[in-house]
Amino acid sequence: MARPGAACPPPARRVVVAARALLFWALVYSYCGVCACIAGLRLLWSIGRRPGETFRWAVRENPPACLNDPSLGTHCYVRIKDSGLRFHYVAAGERGKPLMLLLHGFPEFWYSWRHQLREFKSEYRVVALDLRGYGETDAPSHKDNYKLDCLITDIKDILESLGYNKCVLIGHDWGGMIAWLVAICYPEMVTKLIVVNFPHPSVFTEYILRHPSQLIKSGYYFFFQMPWFPEFMFTVNDFKVLKSLFTSQATGIGRKGCRLTAEDIEAYLYVFSQPGALTGPINHYRNIFSCLPLQHHEVIMPTLLLWGERDAFMEVEMADITRIYVKNHFRLTILSEASHWLQQDQPDIVNKLIWTFLKEETTRKRE
C-alpha cells in the first residue's frame, strides 16, 4: 500500500495524465461545438431577417489613402531565409536608431500602430509588422505553419534580418502573446517589454480554466478551431462582425475623439476582404491548445503592462496576477475608460506612458 503523499507509480501517473488530457480536449471540442451552434443560430437569424444581405460581401480592390500616408513611414519587405516567407512591415525613423518592434493583434494589421509610428520615430527605428498570414505578409496554407514556435522564430529571424540583435518589443492582444513568448525564449533580444491588453500566457491558461466568465469571453478561441466556418461568418453581411468589433458599444472603441473614421474602417475591410485573407489570422488560434501550457515562464527584462479596463475580451484581474512572472521592474497601468483596442482608443495617454517607462528605465540603468 502506497504511503500518503508518495509519488504515483509510472503506470498510474500515465493514466492520470491521459485522463487529464482526455478531459481537456473534451472541454475544448465541446465548447467548440457550443460556440459553433451559437454562430449557426445567429446566421439563421440573419438569413430570416435579411436574406438578400446575409451573403453579400465585396472585395475592396483599391486601398484607402490612409494606408499610403507618408507620415506613417515606408512600406518594406523582408524575406526570412529559414522559412522562405516574405514579411511586410512599415518602418518610420532613421536606420541605425534603436529598434522598436510592434506586433499587432487580431483582427488587425500594421495600421493599428499608426499613432505609435508617428510618435516614436524621433528616437527609434519603429517597425510595425504584418504577422505571418496577415495583410501583405506571406500566408502558408497549412495550419501547422502557425504554431507558436514558428511565430516566435519569425520575430527572432526578422530582428536579425533587419540588422539588429535587440529591440524594444511591444505587442497588443495576440501580438502581446507572441511578445511575452519572445521575451521568455529570447531574453537577450528584448531590452524592454511592453504589452497591451494581454496577460502573461501562463496567467491566461490558468485563469481561463478557473473562471467561467473568462472562458465565455474567450469563446472565439474555441470557435476558431473549426475549419472554414469562422472565416465565412466574418464575411456575412459584408463583414458586419469585423466592423462591429471596432465600432459597437459592447466591444468597440468608445471615446468619441478616437473612434475609427470611415477611412480607418475601410482600411481594415480592404485588408480582410481579400480572398483567403482571414484564414492565416485564424490559423494562429488553431494551434494554441496544442502549445500551452508553457514549460518556461519567467520574464527577466523590465516590463510595462497597459490595460484598458473596459476590455470586452480579457478580464482585468489577470493584469495584476501577471507581476508574479516578471523577475525585474514591473509596471502596470490600468486605464478605466479604455477598451480592448487601447493604443487606438487612447493613443496620447498610451504614448505618454510608454515614453515615461522607456526614459525611467534608461535613467535607472545610468544610476
Strands (E), the chain: 74-79, 86-92, 99-103, 125-129, 167-172, 190-196, 303-308, 330-335
pLDDT digits (tens, 9 = 90+) for 58-101: 999 999 999 999 999 999 999 998 899 999 999 999 999 999 99
The CATH number of residue 214's host domain is 3.40.50.1820
Residue 340 belongs to a domain: yes
pLDDT band per the 50, 70, 90 thresholds, residue 37:
confident
More confident residue, 231 or 50: 231
User: Which one is catalytic: 130, 173, 311, 345?
Assistant: 173
Rounded-to-integer distance, Cα 111 and Cα 88, Å: 12
Rounded-to-integer distance, Cα 350 and Cα 130, Å: 21
Domain that holds residue 247: 72-359
Residue 330 belongs to a domain: yes
Q: Are 166 and 99 in contact (CB under 8 A)?
A: yes
Rounded-to-integer distance, Cα 314 and Cα 215, Å: 10
pLDDT at 310 over 70: yes
- Tell me how many domains the chain contains: 1
The pLDDT score that the predictor gives to residue 42 is: 78
Name the packing angle between helices 229-247 and 10-49 (round to 10°).
70
Active site residue 285: yes
The pLDDT score that the predictor gives to residue 179 is: 98
Q: What radius of gyration, in Å, describes the C-alpha atoms of the chain? A: 21
pLDDT at 285 over 50: yes
The pLDDT score that the predictor gives to residue 168 is: 98
Q: DSSP characters for 9-76?
A: PHHHHHHHHHHHHHHHHHHHHHHHHHHHHHHHHHHHHHHHH-HHHHT------S--GGGG-GGG-EEE
The pLDDT score that the predictor gives to residue 365 is: 47
Q: Are 338 and 365 in contact (CB under 8 A)?
A: no
Active site residue 130: no
The pLDDT score that the predictor gives to residue 93 is: 98
pLDDT digits (tens, 9 = 90+) for 329-346: 999 999 998 999 999 999
Q: What is the DSSP letter of 287?
A: G
Q: What is the DSSP letter of 8?
A: P
Residue 234 belongs to a domain: yes
pLDDT digits (tens, 9 = 90+) for 197-252: 999 999 998 898 889 899 889 888 888 988 999 999 999 999 999 999 999 988 99
pLDDT band per the 50, 70, 90 thresholds, residue 50:
confident
User: Which one is catalytic: 157, 285, 325, 345?
Assistant: 285
pLDDT band per the 50, 70, 90 thresholds, residue 55:
confident
pLDDT digits (tens, 9 = 90+) for 160-197: 999 999 999 999 999 999 999 999 999 999 999 999 99
Residue 274 belongs to a domain: yes
Average pLDDT over residues 23-31: 67
What ranges in 249-330 are assigned the alpha helix state H? Answer: 262-272, 279-283, 288-291, 317-321
Strands (E), 218-361: 303-308, 330-335
Residue 164 belongs to a domain: yes
The pLDDT score that the predictor gives to residue 131 is: 98
- The candidate with the shortest Cα–Cα distance to 27, out of 242, 291, 231, 219, is 219
Residue 50 belongs to a domain: no
Residue 295 belongs to a domain: yes
SS3 label, residue 322: helix
Q: Are 136 and 203 in contact (CB under 8 A)?
A: no
Residue 18 belongs to a domain: no
Active site residue 173: yes
